Structure 1
Amino acid sequence: MITSAEIKKKALRKYTDYLRNVAAGITFQQIEIPCNKKASDTIAEYQREFYDIRSLSKEVKGYGYTIEWKTIKNKMLGTQDFPSKITFETADDFERFLQKVKEVADFRKNVALINGKFSKLQHWIEKYPQKVIDNSEDWNNILKVLDYFSKNPLPKLYIRELPIEVHTKFIEQHKAVISELLDIVIEEYVDKNEKDFEKRYGLRYDEPMVRMRLLDKTLATSYFSGLDDITIPVSLFLKLKMSISMAYIVENKVNFLTFPPVAKSIVIWGKGYGVASIKDSELLKSTELIYWGDLDAQGFEILSQFRSYFARVKSLLMDKATFDKYFENDLGTPSKINAKLNLTTEEEELYSYIKTNNYRLEQEKIPQSYVVEKLKCRFV
């Protein structure tokens, strides 16, 4: 025979659908709980089960589930009463049995509150009623946030700067639910390609930084009051404009720091695959570009990636002669890239050779004198 605990478990499974109907304004219809479980084989067990199920019924408690009994003659138990149908006949019976009266009352209040401000959230409420409940105490503040963004989409402020009357950490602590709602409330302004909250909704954030050195003192004096080692947020670097002849992008920090002087030129620390962050740079669209990476599979793969942003990129010291001269039998990281890369014929041949053997020549192992010599020979 079904137990009162099993009835509660099955009733809880129907609770979400009940909330959906409440949110949709659908009149309550009685809820039936399947009760076709076989009774135990001993009279003692039957009596225990009988009194258990009856003890929490509406017949005894005045609320809860209603039991329809059917008298059956059982070979083991004799003639006994068994439940043939269990139902919750009213919303009050259902809520009181589950001890959800206050929760449902708050849910109704919050549904009205939300819909009063943003009727377009009705579908979300019906789909995720538990989320309305999980944030029961926070809806006034959540709605303040939504109201601000609906009037000021893409505000270009840090979260802590937003002039919303909620405590400073509220948005940060409720990003998940606020994000779902903003996707609906300001749908036309949302950058759906971004998962990061700040980027998705046009806020300022702690950006990655771009570090560059000015290799010509004249440039440093003209643009940065003589400063020649500059670190700025990506968004500002992308807008940067200077009159230069060449921009070098190097993979590793040591080579960035020791890059020799070159007239009308700058060097940027690419940080490996970090080159993606500067692909929309105004400055790089209008100057010659040289990329210098490690002589390993990843170095050429980064070169190919960078060349996909700027087709005119040339490589520096990523040739067979340099490799043969300074290679010390070091091994690299195996590459899983199988796609055709954007490399010259010579680069492709060296890449294939290095990748097949998992060889690696790091930039730092190329002497500074050799770097200076090649720069003078080729680009200065």
Structure 2
Amino acid sequence: MKLPNEVHALLRRRFDNRHREWFNAPDTGEDWPLTIPLGVPTEQAAKTRLDAALAWVRAWQTWRGAGMLQWTERQWRTLGTQRVPESLRLGGVRDVAAWLDEVERWDRARGRQAGMVRRWPVLTGRLGRFFDVLADYADPDFERLIATLDWLERHPDSGLYLRQLPIAGLDTKWIEARKGVLADMLCHITNRADIPGDFHALCGLRRPPVRLRMRVLDPALRARVGGLGDLTVPVNELDQLDLAPRHVVIVENLQTGLAFGDLPGTVLFMALGYGVDLLARVSWVRGAHSFYWGDIDTHGFAILSLLRAQLPAVRSLFMNESTLLAHRALWASEPTQHAAHELPHLDPVEQALYHILKQHVLGSAVRLEQERISWDIAWPALNDALAKVD
């Protein structure tokens, strides 16, 4: 015996799971009309739970809502003729939405969908994944979305920065927060599914310059850049700096990079993540002895492999099994491991440790973050490593 609140819960689950699919082809297909049996009891069950059965009938007698309630009569030997609710028939998604107080959202999304399909017929049957956007954007935001898509479609190779787009009410914060929606919709509109992850290429916009943060650790080298020791520089301008360091150290963690003291002939780069390969564009980096110090985890080794593909002579620091085992008490768990089974640019010792991590030999997704290594241990060892290649 399904009560109205139980039907509501059932419809909520179904709407949450299926509404995007329904939105692409509303009120068609095998789902409609949707008939929900209400669980007419047998006479014995009704007698056993008579109060519950009466409450169930009364609940549906007083129910007012979307859909068509089907009643039936039961000729019972003891209880006599009883008229009971048999099923609820819903003709389409809007009936479901009415049950869930979602009609306003559904109608708003459908109206906006119709307008977009008239403007871009290619979007027919493709907007279900954007239901929340169409249902919930405030009118100014939705109008701005349409104006932006329209302009980008008509100017596929503008070469402008985001800040330069001549669209009323548009600002970079607004567009930055909606890059994913804009890119996905524009992929469909322009049939550019080949580059869905490259927002700037898809929109024909100029990329902001990639900036790298570096520290100049040698006073003599700092004198060549006006005495500055901590700089953030566009990568394509790094070559213009009058630097010729003997050593380049790349560290993953920002706080580790800030902790470095002066080191003769040394420039430090920090917190580049998977952008480390950009350093190969800089001639004075390619001419230096390079060192990489990352976390001892699968992504740390993946970054090292990526860097070594561009700078084959780069040496790793502290990324070895002895360091890992010496800091067992400080291990953490890597949330998501790198997907590759092999990394092509690790040396045999590094590759062996990568396999140990991937195969969970020492525990589940073991990692040692570089900042967990005591500075009293790391700093002297790092000085020794640099001195050995001078």
Q: What range describes the TM-score normalised by the shorter chain of this pair? A: 0.5 to 0.7
Which one of 375, 379, 386 corresponds to residue 364 of structure 1? 379
Which one of 170, 174, 183 corresponds to residue 170 of structure 1? 174
Label 1:205 to 1:55 Cα distance change in 2 as closer, same or farther (>3 A). Answer: farther
How far off is 1:87 after superposition? Answer: 1.8
How far off is 1:271 after superposition? Answer: 3.0
**For the aligned residues, what is the CA RMSD?**
5.5
Other-structure match for 2:57: 50
Aligned-partner Cα distance in 2 for 1:297–1:27: 54
Matched, 1:309 2:310: yes
How far off is 1:207 after superposition? Answer: 5.2
SS of 2:125 mapped into structure 1: helix
- Measured against aligned partners, the alpha-carbon deviations of 1:139-173 in whole angstroms (never above 9, x if no partner) come to 22221222233344586766555433235443345
Other-structure match for 1:231: 231
Whichever residue aligns with residue 67 of structure 2, its letter is: Y
- Measured against aligned partners, the alpha-carbon deviations of 1:41-79 in whole angstroms (never above 9, x if no partner) come to 35544333223212235xxxxx73333333223356332
How far off is 1:203 after superposition? Answer: 6.3
Q: How does 1:176-187 map to 2 (within 5 A)?
A: 177-185=181-189
Label 1:72 to 1:205 Cα distance change in 2 as closer, same or farther (>3 A). Answer: same
Aligned-partner Cα distance in 2 for 1:365–1:339: 32
Other-structure match for 2:127: 125
Other-structure match for 2:263: 259
Structure 1 gaps of 5+ residues are: 58-62, 262-266, 319-329, 349-355
Aligned-partner Cα distance in 2 for 1:140–1:282: 42
SS of 2:264 mapped into structure 1: coil
Whichever residue aligns with residue 232 of structure 1, its letter is: T
Q: Which has the larger radius of gyration?
A: 1
Matched, 1:110 2:112: yes
Whichever residue aligns with residue 288 of structure 1, its letter is: G
Aligned-partner Cα distance in 2 for 1:143–1:279: 36
SS of 1:240 mapped into structure 2: helix
How far off is 1:314 after superposition? Answer: 6.7
Label 1:87 to 1:339 Cα distance change in 2 as closer, same or farther (>3 A). Answer: closer
Which one of 64, 71, 74 corresponds to residue 72 of structure 1? 74
The alignment's TM-score, normalised by the length of structure 2, stands at: 0.61
Aligned-partner Cα distance in 1 for 2:132–2:271: 44
Aligned-partner Cα distance in 2 for 1:134–1:125: 14
CA contact (8 A) 1:209 1:233 kept: yes
Aligned-partner Cα distance in 1 for 2:382–2:183: 52
- Measured against aligned partners, the alpha-carbon deviations of 1:279-331 in whole angstroms (never above 9, x if no partner) come to 45322488423024679979x96876643321244789x9xxxxxxxxxxx86
Aligned-partner Cα distance in 1 for 2:94–2:257: 69
Other-structure match for 1:5: 5
CA contact (8 A) 1:304 1:342 kept: yes
Equivalent residue pairs, number:
343
SS of 1:232 mapped into structure 2: strand
SS of 1:188 mapped into structure 2: coil
Aligned-partner Cα distance in 2 for 1:56–1:367: 76
Aligned-partner Cα distance in 2 for 1:93–1:295: 56
Q: How does 1:261-280 map to 2 (within 5 A)?
A: 267-271=266-270, 276-280=275-279
Label 1:164 to 1:46 Cα distance change in 2 as closer, same or farther (>3 A). Answer: same
Q: How does 1:84-163 map to 2 (within 5 A)?
A: 84-88=86-90, 99-135=101-137, 137=139, 138-152=141-155, 159=162, 161-163=164-166
Label 1:52 to 1:280 Cα distance change in 2 as closer, same or farther (>3 A). Answer: same
Whichever residue aligns with residue 308 of structure 1, its letter is: A
Whichever residue aligns with residue 67 of structure 1, its letter is: L
Label 1:271 to 1:104 Cα distance change in 2 as closer, same or farther (>3 A). Answer: closer
SS of 2:126 mapped into structure 1: helix
Other-structure match for 2:247: 248
CA contact (8 A) 2:292 2:314 kept: no
Label 1:268 to 1:88 Cα distance change in 2 as closer, same or farther (>3 A). Answer: same
Aligned-partner Cα distance in 1 for 2:84–2:77: 14
Aligned-partner Cα distance in 1 for 2:177–2:308: 41
Matched, 1:281 2:280: yes
Whichever residue aligns with residue 287 of structure 2, its letter is: E
Label 1:37 to 1:84 Cα distance change in 2 as closer, same or farther (>3 A). Answer: closer
Whichever residue aligns with residue 82 of structure 1, its letter is: V
**Percent identity between the aligned chains?**
17
Other-structure match for 1:323: none
CA contact (8 A) 2:217 2:267 kept: no
The alignment's TM-score, normalised by the length of structure 1, stands at: 0.62
Structure 2 gaps of 5+ residues are: 320-325, 352-361, 363-367
Label 1:12 to 1:292 Cα distance change in 2 as closer, same or farther (>3 A). Answer: closer
